[in-house]
A and B are shown apart, each in its own frame.
Chain A
Amino acid sequence: MTTRRAALPATSLRIGVAVCLAASGVVHAELYIHGYRAIPGIGPMFLLQASGSLAVAVLLLIGAPPVLRLGAAALTAGALGGFALSRTVGVFGFIERGLNPAPEALISIVVEVAALLLLAIPPAIARGARRSPLRPR
């Protein structure tokens, strides 16, 4: 019973990450199809981001081994990093301003930050449990 109770939040987190990652993938795929594919350097990166995110999202519905969690974190962090670079120094000379294109930019940030937070929850709980173990008296 306890095991089942513990597994439920873990499953919810896993599905939550998968949904966020899938949303990020759909946003990047939509932007790729409707114009970004023509931008040198940026087009292939959007395609990789879209297909990678959707692939890992599908696999996360089956299980969540470390390699998948790592992949999910790398994809979301990479997307957020790319977004930050494109608003500052540029990526391959490509620069955008603010939350454009709207609403895709905002949706993408929200789901990617959410995915990172969900991915960070299990390690944080595990670290907390290690720091304060329950000692039998």
Chain B
Amino acid sequence: MTAPRDPADNPDDAQRRPGGMSRRQLLRHGAWFGGAVVLTVAGGEVISHIGGAPAAALADDPNALRFVQISDSHIGFHGPANLDVTGSFARAITQVNSLDLAPDFVMHTGDLTHLSAAAQFDQVKQMLGGLRTGKVFTVPGEHDSVDDHGQKYRATFGAGSRGDGWYSFDIKGVHVIALVNTLALEKLGHLGVDQLDFIQRDVASLSSDTPIVVFSHIPLFAMYPAWGWGTDDATQALSYLRRFSSVTCLNGHVHQLFSKTEGNVTFYSATTTAYPLPHPGQAAAPAPLTLPAGQLGDALGIRDVTYQPGQHALAVRDRKLT
């Protein structure tokens, strides 16, 4: 006859938990889990080093290109969605000026004014003059050409531009193209033959490894065509940029953050400093949204972008308005 088995004879049995797992099993599972975590962290370190310096490190690199995008300030807007768009824009400018390092340039991607009034252009130009940066650039929005095909806009901000206000420049190894897709729009944005020709000629002599940054007001991708959030001849424009290894398109107009990638091109829609618009299709029309008290600041913001020579992509950081 066998003596009754004492649970103490088998440590596993003695320490078995009500859930059915012994201490040994628990340790084994913990070891596997710990191994997975250690390998994940180590692998993450290796991959991120292959990818290049993280954005935080880029911010400290004196050779890196830094610029800020602000958009859709709508100076002159009066409505419950934002009772003080001038104050919001002033806060955005203060926020840009308080960045650790002054940006090489600031780009305003359109709808500087709400109704294209001369006084509104004067006001926004004066305010932009308070930016602590090397240079301020702009592209027009449809609100900047309400009744004059952009004449007042070009008189105020068009110096050095071509055609209806488009231009390009090079800075720290990056080629920047500023486009106008708001003057001939019917439903969608439109670039037109002359501007397409300009883009084709502009990039013809560039090496394919030159990073390209494109600014426009209306998105160059079909974000939501039912609301006009797209550009009807953007495909043609982007075809001239297909051979470049890194193309970044930054736009305004939609008053909300949005990003997507198509092959070598990454698109980033910026938020606004004025008032939010509904998400695509979540309202009958893209009309200004009035948010509950205290939530407006979360919907507004600025964007700072960093590019380190030799890297493939730009590091984009969106900041809420403070």
Is B227 located at the chain interface by the 8 A CB criterion?
no
Residue interface bits A89-131, CB-to-B below 8 A is 1, else 0: 0100111110011100000000000000000000000000000
Contacts A35-B246, A36-B261, A37-B51 given; does A93 touch B256 at CB 8 Å: yes
Counting CB contacts under 8 A, is A133 at the interface? no
User: Counting CB contacts under 8 A, is A51 at the interface?
Assistant: yes
Bound-state Cα–Cα, A20 to B117, Å: 60
Least CB distance, A114 to chain B, in whole angstroms: 21
A window 40-82: CB within 8 A of B: 40, 42, 47-48, 50-52, 54-56, 58-59, 63, 65-68, 71
- The answer to whether the Cβ of A83 comes within 8 Å of any Cβ in the partner chain is no
Q: How far apart are the CA atoms of A96 and B39 in the complex, in Å? A: 30
Interface of chain A, helix or strand or loop or mixed?
helix
Least Cβ–Cβ distance between A67 and chain B, in angstroms: 5
Scoring B36, B263, B317 by chain A CB atoms within 10 A of each residue's CB, the highest score goes to B36
User: What's the least CB distance linking A77 to chain B, in Å?
Assistant: 16
A89 to B47, CA, bound (A): 28
Asked if residues A100 and B261 are in contact (CB atoms below 8 Å), the reply is yes
A47-B46 Cα distance, complex, nearest whole Å: 10
B257 at the interface (CB under 8 A from A): yes
Residue in chain A with minimal CB distance to B318: A40
Chain A residues with CB below 8 A from B51, complex form: 32-33, 37
Q: How far is the CA of A59 from the CA of B318 in the complex (A)?
A: 37
Q: Which of B39, B47, B55 contacts A58 (CB 8 A)?
A: B39
Q: Are B313 and A38 in contact (CB under 8 A)?
A: yes
B37 cross-chain contacts in A, Cβ below 8 A: 55
A28: min CB distance to chain B, Å: 9
Provide the residues of chain B in CB contact with A94, threshold 8 Å: 258-260
Cross-chain contact A67 with B41 (CB below 8 angstroms) = no
- Indicate if the CB atoms of B44 and A38 lie closer than 8 Å: no
* Distance to closest chain A CB from B56 (angstroms): 12
Within 8 A of A (CB), among B17-55: 28-29, 32-33, 35-44, 46-48, 50-52, 55
| B44 with A48: CB separation less than 8 A | yes
Q: Which residues of A contact B47 (CB under 8 A)?
A: 29, 32-33, 47, 50-51
Contact B260 A96 (CB under 8 A): yes
A37 to B263, CA, bound (A): 15
Check A93–B246 contact: CB distance below 8 A: no
B241 smallest CB distance to A (angstroms) = 14
Q: Does B312 contact A (CB under 8 A)?
A: yes
Complex Cα spacing A36 to B316, Å: 11
Contact B266 A65 (CB under 8 A): no
**What's the nearest-Cβ distance from chain B to residue A94, in Å?**
5
Cα(A29)–Cα(B48), bound, Å: 9
A34 within 8 A of B: yes
Given contacts A29-B47, A40-B259, A97-B260, 5 further A-B contacts (CB under 8 A): A33-B51, A33-B52, A35-B313, A51-B40, A95-B260
A positions within 8 Å CB-CB of B: 25, 29, 32-40, 42, 47-48, 50-52, 54-56, 58-59, 63, 65-68, 71, 90, 93-97, 100-102
25 chain-A/chain-B pairs, Cβ below 8 angstroms:
A25-B43, A32-B51, A33-B312, A37-B48, A37-B51, A38-B55, A38-B315, A40-B316, A40-B318, A42-B259, A47-B44, A50-B43, A50-B44, A52-B36, A52-B40, A59-B36, A65-B28, A67-B32, A67-B33, A68-B32, A68-B36, A96-B262, A97-B260, A100-B261, A100-B262
